[in-house]
Chains A and B, each alone.
Chain A
Amino acid sequence: MTTSGPAGAIAPGVIESVTRHEHPGGDHSQPGLPGGMRRTSSRVRRERITMASLVLPSIILVVLINAYPVFYAAVQSVHDGTLTSTGDFVGLDNFTAILTSPDFWASARFTLVFTVVGVFGSWAVGLALALGLKAGVPGRSTFRVLLLLPWVVPIVVSATSWSWMVATPSSPVPQLAEALGFGQVLFLADPLLAQITVCVFKVWVSFPFMMLMTSAALESVDDNVYQAARMDGANRWQTFTQITLPMIARSTYISWILMAIFCVNDFPTIFLLTGGGPVNATTSLVVFAYKLVFTNFQTGIGVAVAFLMTVGLVIVSTILYRQIRKAGIE
């Protein structure tokens, strides 16, 4: 970059001199400084202002995009409004109503179960497949593409397919269960079975993501490490637990955090398959919030649920990221 000022070209050495004085917290406008240095520090300030001005639109945009909805949600959560008007201020009544509602806690419990199963179930399947693919099975490129299908196929299509397979007594899977002597198994009609089915569906939809993340992490592990371990007499289990898992830990933790966010915010998987039923058995917090806002038209209460979810997710994500940093996982 050419350094120059209104007075014309600056002699070599001045910049170095200024640079020496540029330190964090330094005062570049102290009286008694040489005139050239004052000019230079003034120019630095101008450049900073220029840079700040250039960055400002982006910052404003990001703030508007991210902060405005959160702020608006916070406002709506303390009002008794509709979708078209803010309504009356009701203080913390909406939050009180939520936190004393058994339906909210039932949804929170299912969200926790759905998230834990979704994260660790998909991770376990994804890890196993990633390891299998790394081991060099024949036709692994084809397998990799095929295994990505659950993630690639639109959720509406896969949810409809699953519904077709399990919803009615004459669907293929209940028919198979009956043929195997399990009697009439109603996968979406029994509350517990519906919860299991929805969780399994989530694992099925999500494992390709985990497989991709893990495959990428596994590629970064140097094969020499494995060779060294083998020379030291490590068996497969020891290699897996002492080398593979620690070396992909950072990627694993990040994928857990991402998948946890995906699961908590997952609306279509549940809504398309069960609609949150039967009798709210598979209603997660996001489905609960949707129903409150768009079917019960209790906008304030619904937004309060969503707001609590956002706050909860931010706190959990922050804690997990700090834990990753504290643990010094590379």
Chain B
Amino acid sequence: MFLSSAASAQLSRRGLLGLGLGAAGALGLSGCSRATTSPAGGASGSGGGAVSFWDTVWGSDAYVNRAKQLVEGYSADGMTGAYQSVPWASYYQTFSSAVASNTAPAASSGGGYQAFQFYDQDAVTPADEVIKALQDAGEEFGPGLLESMQYDGVYVGVPWQVDIRVLWYRQSLLEQVGAAVPTDWDTLRDAGLKLKQAGIVGFSVGAGTTTQGTQAFLAMLINNGGGWFDAEGNVDCLTENNIQATEYLLSLAKDGIITPAAVSYSTDNITSEWTSGKAAIGFNSPTLAQEFGADQQEDILVASPITGPTGKTGTMRFVNNLMMYKSVDAEVSQAFLTWYMQNIKAYWTEGLLSSIPALQSIIDTPEYQGDARAKKIAEEWNPIGGTYASLSTTAGPQMAAVDGGQPTAVWAQQIVQQSGDARSILETLQTGLEGIVKK
């Protein structure tokens, strides 16, 4: 700006400084005033506003749209529901940032052990009231689900669905090589060897950018009465049952029943292997069938639980749960979550989710009972499911570090690559888990 007089020059400089200070002050004040408004997470009390629900992506766009419609239909005490879909990529960072900035939602879904972690950090409210309200309303939870949510004498979350690893098979491929549906580890090997001769994978896993391989191998440990943790929650990898299971898995890798390429497989690679007819047997989630076309639905089937050498059965599962954050009035979030649990039936009756519902009332619906695969998973596999905590009935915040952590990923990759014997591989796992688990 060109100034023609001393006075204007003085005024301009001072004015400019004043303007700057004024702007800074205004910004500061606006910041203060924003801080006094209710948190983005939702209403801080009754009398109007939105109850925010953040939901990780559990299904297709149809699920997200239905969930949004459902949540936005909530209305109580003048408050309505607000839905926010949260992608799985960096979901933990999203929730952590919200907790740290006191902008967490009223309630959310999320990682299987997220509620334990946030409870430990004093960020979530116990879910006892919601569970009691649901039970008072006659709702019944699936076997072992409530126990798995207990920590520090309270329920840290409300179980709403179970993601479980079950044994899938392609019937046409088994018939093609003359193999029977596996019922135990010996018949699993027999089928695998026959499939291998035909160039088909007999134990489909992926241990690269996916944790599917880790989960499938843990399912085999639990299937043999083992696991990574003992009943008291201590890391306990070097048990006879675990060694036996790991030796078995190493033998599958040695025989080529587990393909060596699996060490770098992503989820897409596994799916492609299944749908292209290059894989015939493997542990996977209940969503696997959704990857197949309508003409292949009769061919992709769920086996009954196989029996391990110890005579036991078992698999691994995630008890997915809903949690309530302390940044919002507990009564508001409790009322919302109770309502939400009583209205999620549509996810299954409309075929939007393949996981096992936590509430028996949903399993009992004609729609769910009419799905043979879903019914089999709920009736045969769900009761024998164990979490990452394995032999311990309850989990804890440390399981979040185990879920997707480096030691377990390396363990799975070492099995696929046969990097040592069972004992040495389990010793590496033991050391790794002890390093990340805080007791």
Cross-chain contact A9 with B6 (CB below 8 angstroms): yes
B413 touches A296 (CB 8 A): no
A188 to B100, Cβ gap below 8 A?
A: no
Residue A194 is within 8 A (CB to CB) of chain B in the complex: yes
**Stretch among A132-140, A161-169, A222-230, A314-322 lining the B interface:** A161-169
Size bracket, chain B contacts = 35 or more
Report whether B264 and A188 are in contact in the complex, using a CB–CB cutoff of 8 Å.
yes
Residues of A within 8 A of B92 (CB): 83, 294
Residues of A within 8 Å of B100, CB to CB, are 83-85
Contact (Cβ within 8 A) B265 A167: yes
Known pairs A277-B409, A297-B400; A83 contacts B269 (CB<8 A): no
Is chain B's interface secondary structure helix, strand, loop, or mixed overall? Answer: helix
Contact call A168/B265, Cβ cutoff below 8 A? yes
Extra 7 A-B pairs, beta carbons < 8 Å, given A9-B6, A83-B97? A83-B96, A163-B266, A167-B265, A188-B208, A189-B417, A294-B93, A295-B406
**Interface assignment of A280: CB less than 8 Å from any CB of chain B:** yes
Contact B208 A84 (CB under 8 A): no
Q: How far is the CA of A202 from the CA of B332 in the complex (A)?
A: 51
Asked if A277 contacts B278 (CB within 8 A), the reply is: no
Q: Are A279 and B265 in contact (CB under 8 A)?
A: no
B45 contacts chain A at the CB level, 8 A cutoff:
no
A109 within 8 A of B: no
Known: A53-B17, A85-B121. A186 touches B260 (CB 8 A): yes
Are B5 and A170 in contact, CB atoms less than 8 angstroms apart?
Answer: no
Return the contact of A189 from the options B260, B273, B401 (Cβ within 8 A).
B260
- Asked if residues A167 and B266 are in contact (CB atoms below 8 Å), the reply is yes
B261–A279 CB distance below 8 A = no
B99 beta carbon closer than 8 Å to chain A: yes
CA separation between A163 and B264, bound complex, in Å?
9
Q: Which residues of A contact B405 (CB under 8 A)?
A: 291, 295-296
Convert A90-130 into 0s and 1s, putting 1 for each residue whose CB lies closer than 8 angstroms to a CB of B.
00000000000000000000000000000000000000000
Contact with A along B391-402 (1 / 0, CB 8 A): 000000000110
CA of A186 to CA of B416, assembled, Å = 13
Known: A186-B261, A274-B264, A297-B401. A279 touches B6 (CB 8 A): no
Q: Which of A156-198 contact B (CB under 8 A)?
A: 160, 163, 167-170, 186, 188-189, 194
* Shortest distance between the CB of A278 and any CB in chain B (Å): 4
Chain B CB within 8 A of A2 CB: yes
The B81-115 residues at the A interface (CB cut-off 8 A) are: 90, 92-93, 96-97, 99-100
Contact, CB under 8 Å: A84 / B99: yes
What's the minimum C-beta distance from B6 to chain A, rounded to whole angstroms?
3
Nearest CB in chain B: distance from A137 CB, A:
38
Q: Which residues in A have some Cβ–Cβ distance to B below 8 Å?
A: 2, 4-6, 8-9, 50, 53-54, 57, 82-85, 160, 163, 167-170, 186, 188-189, 194, 271-272, 274-275, 277-280, 291-292, 294-298
Is A54 within 8 A of B5, CB to CB? no
Q: Mark B405-439, 1 if CB is under 8 A from A, else 0.
A: 11001100110110100000000000000011000
Chain A CB count within 10 A is highest, among B261, B405, B435, for: B261
CB contacts between A and B, total, < 8 Å: 125
- Stretch among B8-16, B142-150, B221-229, B333-341 lining the A interface: B8-16
Decide yes or no: A50 and B13 within 8 Å by CB, A83-B92, A295-B406 being known contacts: yes
Determine how close the nearest CB of chain B comes to the CB of A79; give it in whole angstroms: 14
Complex contact A189–B20 (CB within 8 A) = no
Closest chain-B Cβ to A185's Cβ sits at a distance in Å of 10
Q: Is the CB of A167 within 8 A of B264?
A: yes
Q: A283: nearest residue on chain B (CB-CB)?
A: B406
User: Of all chain B residues, which has the CB nearest A80?
Assistant: B438
**Could you tell me the distance in whole angstroms from the C-beta of A64 to the nearest C-beta in chain B?**
13
Give the shortest distance, in Å, between A230 (CB) and chain B (any CB). 52
List which B255-297 residues lie within 8 A (CB) of chain A. Answer: 259-266, 268-269, 272-273, 276, 278
Contact partners of A274 in chain B: CB under 8 A: 208-209, 264
Residues of chain B at the chain A interface (Cβ within 8 Å): 3-6, 9-10, 13, 16-17, 20, 24, 90, 92-93, 96-97, 99-100, 117-118, 121, 123, 207-209, 259-266, 268-269, 272-273, 276, 278, 400-401, 404-406, 409-410, 413-414, 416-417, 419, 435-436
Closest to A187 in B: B264
CA distance A112 to B93 in the complex (A): 29
- Cβ 8 A contact of B261, one of A5, A50, A169, A297: A169
CB distance from B63 to the nearest CB of A (A): 23
Which of B10, B17, B123 is close to A6, meaning CB atoms less than 8 Å apart? Answer: B10
Contact A168 B207 (CB under 8 A): no
Q: Is the CB of B5 within 8 A of A4?
A: yes
Cα separation A50 to B405 with both chains bound (whole Å): 55
A279 to B370, CA, bound (A): 44
Given known A83-B92, A296-B406, contact A278–B208 (CB-CB < 8 A): yes
The answer to whether B263 and A189 touch across the interface, beta carbons within 8 angstroms, is yes
The CA-CA distance from A77 to B205 in the complex, in Å, is: 37
Complex-state Cα separation, A304 to B214, whole angstroms: 28
A5 vs B9: C-alpha distance when bound (angstroms): 9
Residues of chain A within 8 A (CB-CB) of B118 are 84
Q: Per a CB cutoff under 8 Å, which of B9, B259, B261 touches A2?
A: B9
| A residues in contact with B96, CB < 8 Å | 82-84
CB distance from A306 to the nearest CB of B (A): 15
CB distance from B110 to the nearest CB of A (A): 14
Whether A50 contacts B17 by the Cβ 8 Å rule is yes
C-alpha spacing A156/B16, complex, angstroms: 47
- Which residues on the A side are within 8 Å of B414 (C-beta)? 279
Q: Are A168 and B261 in touch, CB under 8 angstroms?
A: yes
User: A85-B121, A279-B419 in contact; A6/B6 too (CB < 8 A)?
Assistant: yes
CA–CA, A8 and B9, complex, Å: 12
Residues on A with C-beta less than 8 A from B276 are: 170
A85 CA to B121 CA, complexed, in Å: 8
Once the chains are docked, how many angstroms separate the CA of A190 from the CA of B98? Answer: 40
With a cutoff of 8 Å between Cβ atoms, the chain A residues found around residue B266 in the complex are 163, 167, 275
State the Cβ distance, B342 to closest chain A Cβ, in Å: 31
Verify A271–B209 contact, CB threshold 8 A: yes
A84 touches B406 (CB 8 A): no
B209 near A272 (CB under 8 angstroms)? yes
Contacts of A50 in B (CB 8 A): 13, 17
Determine which of B16, B264, B272, B436 lies in contact with A297 in the assembled complex, contact meaning CB atoms within 8 Å: B436
